[in-house]
Structure 1
Amino acid sequence: MKKKNTLTIYDLARELNYSTSTISRALKNHKSISKKTAQLIQRAAEERGYRPNSLAASLRSNNSKTIGVSISNISRPFVSDMISGIETSAREKGYNVIISQSHDSYDNEVSNAKALYDSRVCGIIASLSMQTENTDHFNQFKDQGIPVVFVDRVPNNFQSYHVIIDNYTSAYIATEHLIEQGCKRIAHFAGSQHLNVYSQRKKGFIEALKHHDLEIDERLIVDMKTLSFEEGAQVTAELFKLNNPPDGIFSSNDTAAVSAILYLKKQGIRIPDDVAVIGFNDDPISSIVEPALSTIYHPAQKMGELSTRRILEHLEKEDGMHTTEISVLETHVISRASSVRKKST
């Protein structure tokens, strides 16, 4: 028979000949229990390896003090910085964090949402997977009054808290930066268009071209599935097979932009003289690649901190009703060697 290794207050009560209520109060240093008795029970509990059942306590109090996080992939610098912000803010207030990764799979996200719900989280922070178009799996939280905060990749129709940046304006200024460097045929690496971040970046890109009376060549706008390193090189190769290839590239993330730079260098194409490149996110790799990648600053850690704050503020509300509140954080262009061309004198 498998040895039982989970000691309960019922076991302690039986061994010490006290009621379970006395054991429970003593372990919490309740004033109704004498100091001598409390010390005796606490010492016995420690010697026997007793651990409190936090799940049972959460069921009684209806507050697990645990925040669930549903993200795409923790290996991505933006995501890891965001999680750092979430964890730091949560732990300062005595909350724990459970992290689940979808790896950009809708099915994984649905399964993870159920697991987090079953874990009795008191709130959930979610950044949608690349595949997610239906967000019904988050209704289970909302139906039980559990606050939901969507961050960065957010749904278009879900009444909850949103923590985002202005992707439209960020893309506009990124594109305008290339135009100011003299670029006239700018390619855009766009992501999945059902996601707010990529659809808004594409719109901002197109509007900047229109405002500066530049041609919108659909062949230069590529809706990419993953914006991965491999896909970035593949798309760049296709673009430079055109009779009139681009003289600028605005990528919706840094990964694909860095991939483009490395591919172009192998082909002997000069950066930024022949092609100026700008990415998005300010991942660490953007300052390591040669030439260093111009990019858009994306306040990942601040977004994580604010997302946690929204959860905690909601839990303190007396009515506990879901509200729609959109928080927009600021971004800016970080100019580096990949896009800044020397001005002729």
Structure 2
Amino acid sequence: MSQFTLKDLARKLGVSPSTVSRALRGHPDISPVTRQRVVEAAEKYHYHPNQLAQSLQKKRSNVIGVIVPEIRHYFFSHAISGIEEVAYDNGYTIMVCQSHETLAREILNVQALVSNRVAGLLIAISSETTSFEHLSRTIRQRVPLVQFDRVVEELDTGKVVVDDYAAAYGAVEHLIASGYRRIGHMAGREGIALNRKRFEGYRDALAAHGLPLEEKFHLSGGYREEDGRAGADLYLALDELPDAILAINDPVAVGLHTRFKERGVRIPDDVALVGFSDTPAAALIEPALTTVCQPAFDMGRTAVSLLLRQFADGADFEPETVVLETELRVRGTSVSKEGPCR
């Protein structure tokens, strides 16, 4: 029995094949009534689009590749949800890969997705990605590419970020206003733009208020809870503790929080903490974590919308950087030394 084709389905419905195709992809130009007729007919006649044939014909599929450092990180899982929502509404599915914070895995992921003719790529780079020939090569192959959150600034692509400098600056100003003076920074790995901007915001806020940047309080590490616990051990080995710490993200802040409490350090009486991301854990620990809220879901939605615009514009697409707003959510880990923050 021969397979029921798109042209057969269009003939049964008395519409053009392009109308059937757009209806099945959920195109906004097709009315809900027509879309419903097409979907019901496709089910009745057991029509299934030949994705391989479409891929070969268009030289790309209806799949968008997404590469993130780790899905278990709440920020990235939430961003993926935003990506999937917009992609699905526009007739695309997504294929998600994890770099596990390694450049080697990231390169393999990019190669695999491009080889499978994905329509385009969305990527948040790994903590090891300080060289980016694999991404430059992808751009030269004319595969649409949008970066989000962690980006390579030198690449001329669409980007979706937050103002990491301003967010860090504001977080440190909050700590200063709350009475803290020996403020440390538990940073991420060097060479990543996001890390550099958060450090610069931290440094400049201290300088603006006449406070020193004490090198012993500035540590670098990874992005996981275990990195925060390791950082806490390093702080505890010093002759004195900082009285506040700005962490690169919430998992690191939670790791600091956990180890300090295990060792009898009082939070925030001995050490105040501020994180980044506003993960669910931030509100569940005691005292709850003050953190910079990043709009992860909106970042995912914005990134895929930028990619879809690149699909539509083709060679006329002009890359832009979209900067989303953050919000400092003050909780118990940074209560003022003189009392609750006002």
Distance in 2 (CA, whole Å) between partners of 1:115 and 1:340 is: 48
Alpha-carbon separation, structure 2, partners of 1:147 and 1:293 = 38
User: Which among 49, 53, 63 is matched to residue 50 of structure 2?
Assistant: 53
Q: Summarize the Cα distance change of 1:216–1:342 in structure 2 as closer, same or farther, 3 Å threshold.
A: closer
Q: What is aligned with 1:256?
A: 252
Q: Does 1:272 align with 2:273?
A: no
The 1:44–1:277 alpha-carbon spacing in structure 2 relative to 1, beyond 3 Å, is closer
Q: Distance in 1 between matches of 2:114 and 2:234?
A: 44
Q: What secondary structure sits across from 2:198 in the alignment?
A: helix
Query: Among the aligned pairs, what percent are the same residue?
Result: 34
- Aligned equivalent of 1:295: 291
Aligned-partner Cα distance in 1 for 2:146–2:225:
29
TM-score (norm 1): 0.85
- Which of 183, 188, 191 lines up with 1:191 in the alignment? 188
Deviation of the 1:336 alpha carbon? 0.1
User: Which residue in 2 is equivalent to 1:231?
Assistant: 227
- 1:336 correspondence with 2:326: no
Contact 1:227 1:256 in 2 (8 A): yes
Shift of 1:26: 1.1
Q: Give the AA of the match of 1:217.
A: E
User: 1 CA distance for matches of 2:115 and 2:195?
Assistant: 32
Aligned length: 315
Among 278, 281, 297, the residue aligned to 2:277: 281
Kindly indicate whether the alpha-carbon contact (under 8 Å) linking 2:180 and 2:337 is maintained by their aligned counterparts in 1: no
> How far apart are the structure 2 equivalents of 1:145 and 1:222?
40
Deviating beyond 3 angstroms after TM superposition, the runs of 4 or more aligned structure 1 residues are 27-33, 42-46
Separation (CA, whole Å) in 2 of partners of 1:332 and 1:27:
51
CA contact (8 A) 2:6 2:49 kept: no
CA contact (8 A) 1:250 1:277 kept: yes
In structure 2, C-alpha distance between the alignment counterparts of 1:334 and 1:217, rounded to whole Å: 26
The answer (yes or no) to whether the contact 1:12–1:45 under 8 Å persists in 2 is no
Cα RMSD after superposing both structures: 2.4
2:276 counterpart SS class:
coil
Partner residue, 1:79 = 76
Residue of structure 2 in register with 1:18 after alignment = none
C-alpha distance in structure 2 between counterparts of 1:43 and 1:218, whole Å: 66
**Normalising to structure 2: TM-score of the pair?**
0.86
Change in CA separation of 1:178 and 1:207 when aligned onto 2, cut-off 3 Å: same
Residue in 1 aligned with 2:30?
none
Residues 201-240 of structure 1 mapped to structure 2, 5 A cutoff: 201-224=198-221, 226-240=222-236
Which ranges in structure 2 are unaligned for 5 or more consecutive residues? 17-41
Q: Which runs of 5+ in 1 are unaligned?
A: 1-10, 14-21, 34-41
Q: Which amino acid aligns with 1:186?
A: I
Q: Write the distance in 2 (CA, Å) between the matches of 1:229 and 1:70.
A: 21
Contact 1:271 1:291 (8 Å CA) reproduced = yes
